[in-house]
Amino acid sequence: MADYKFVTYESVDDGRIVRIMLNRLKTRNAQNRGMLVELDEAFLRAEADDQVRVVILGGVGPLFSSGHDMGSEEAIAERTAGPGQHPTMLINGGTRLSAENRMLQEWHYFFQNTLRWRNLRKITIAQVQGTTYAAGLMLVWACDLIVAADDAKFADVVGARLGMCGVEYFGHPWEFGPRRAKELLLTGDSIDVQEAFELGMVSKIFPRAELEDQTLAYARRIAKLPTMAALLIKESVNQTVDNMGFYNALQATFTLHQLNHAHWAEIHDDGYQGARPEDGVPDWRSAPRVVVRDPGVADPHLVASS
């Protein structure tokens, strides 16, 4: 076991399969900078190892990942000058000013990280339980296959809660379809695992208690394929969607995301880069809970409170 603080790295079947787990139970696997840097190291370690055929990415506890870490003490210390500051806050644009700083830091640690994991030279499987929020979706979507527990739900709440046009890696239209992507971003509602399966986003639905064992069995089945065939299958699909515009659309929407941040930062005297209650969104810490979209209900919050 390497010396990771925010993830675990485990070899299975003589190293043919690697299981990486997000390991921040207290914050529901919120992604702080330290976690993202370690996750990149862990993925690249698995990629470099010729024994490895399949990488499973999971998260400990009740849910896979609650998204980017907005406010834990640890995350605030990482961003603030002092002994707890993460060294990557002083490189890759971290010493530049304003929009340039934000654009470069998000490009390296959110956008390019995710794209690099999507292009990993191994087959990757996301193992998901509970509700996956916002930037949690980026980790899930970066994987080649997604398997989920029967309690899994998926939501990007950054439109409804932060006045943002989705997360930095804009996979939404490709994963949800264009109209469902608009609906989910405009309402902040979630989809359940059955709908994610019907959309083709999720490959398997397992009982929660069997998630780990069933995911491993699935990984073992895929690990049997000759490595050359497995990689070229992955590349054939990825290069097809890239030629359909996926890669260029990701670049364009990352730029829109930066414009959206710049808008809020320009409005707020303290430079805060998202919307606040005075801008017309609920406080993200006390916002109404996320509900599963219902085709027959206009506003499920009204139903819940009546």
How many helices (H) and strands (E) would you count in the chain? 13, 9
- Among 82-90, 93-101, 102-110, 289-297, the segment contacting Zn ion (CB under 5 A): 102-110
C-alpha 184: how far from its chain's center? 16
Residues in 8-47 that interact with Zn ion by CB under 5 A: none
Cβ-based nearer residue to Zn ion, 74 or 106: 106
Q: Binding marks (x or -) toward Zn ion, 59..98, rule CB under 5 A?
A: ----------------------------------------
Q: How far is the CB of 260 from Zn ion (least distance, A)?
A: 8
- Among 103-111, 120-128, 177-185, 243-251, the segment contacting Zn ion (CB under 5 A): 103-111
* Assigned token pair, 128: 């998901």
Closest CA to 55 of 63, 66, 67, 46: 46
d(CA 17, CA 11): 6
Cβ-based nearer residue to Zn ion, 237 or 256: 256
Cβ-based nearer residue to Zn ion, 60 or 267: 267
Cβ-based nearer residue to Zn ion, 47 or 106: 106
d(CA 260, CA 265): 9
Cβ-based nearer residue to Zn ion, 148 or 162: 162
- Among 104-112, 122-130, 141-149, 213-221, the segment contacting Zn ion (CB under 5 A): 104-112
Q: How far is the CB of 258 from Zn ion (least distance, A)?
A: 8
Q: How far is the CB of 78 from Zn ion (least distance, A)?
A: 16
3-state SS, 1-69, equals CCCCCCEEEEEECCCCEEEEEECCHHHCCCECHHHHHHHHHHHHHHHHCCCCCEEEEEECCCCCCCCEC
Sign of the CA dihedral with 44 first, then 47, 50, and 52 last:
positive
First to last CA, the chain: 52
Cβ-based nearer residue to Zn ion, 105 or 129: 105
Q: How far is the CB of 9 from Zn ion (least distance, A)?
A: 27
- Is the CB of residue 148 less than 8 Å from the CB of residue 129? yes
Residues in 244-263 that interact with Zn ion by CB under 5 A: none
User: Degrees (nearest 5) of the Cα angle 121, 122, 123?
Assistant: 135
Residues in 106-135 that interact with Zn ion by CB under 5 A: 106
- Among 31-39, 100-108, 150-158, 218-226, the segment contacting Zn ion (CB under 5 A): 100-108
Q: Which amino acid appears at position 290 of this protein?
A: V
- Among 101-109, 177-185, 188-196, 291-299, the segment contacting Zn ion (CB under 5 A): 101-109
* Assigned token pair, 75: 């995350």
Cβ-based nearer residue to Zn ion, 240 or 255: 255
Q: Are strands 17-22 and 7-12 parallel, antiparallel or unpaired?
A: antiparallel
- Among 92-100, 105-113, 116-124, 149-157, the segment contacting Zn ion (CB under 5 A): 105-113
- Interface with Zn ion (CB under 5 A), residue total 1
Cβ-based nearer residue to Zn ion, 106 or 189: 106
Closest CA to 64 of 20, 111, 123: 20
Q: Which residues bind Zn ion (CB under 5 A)?
A: 106
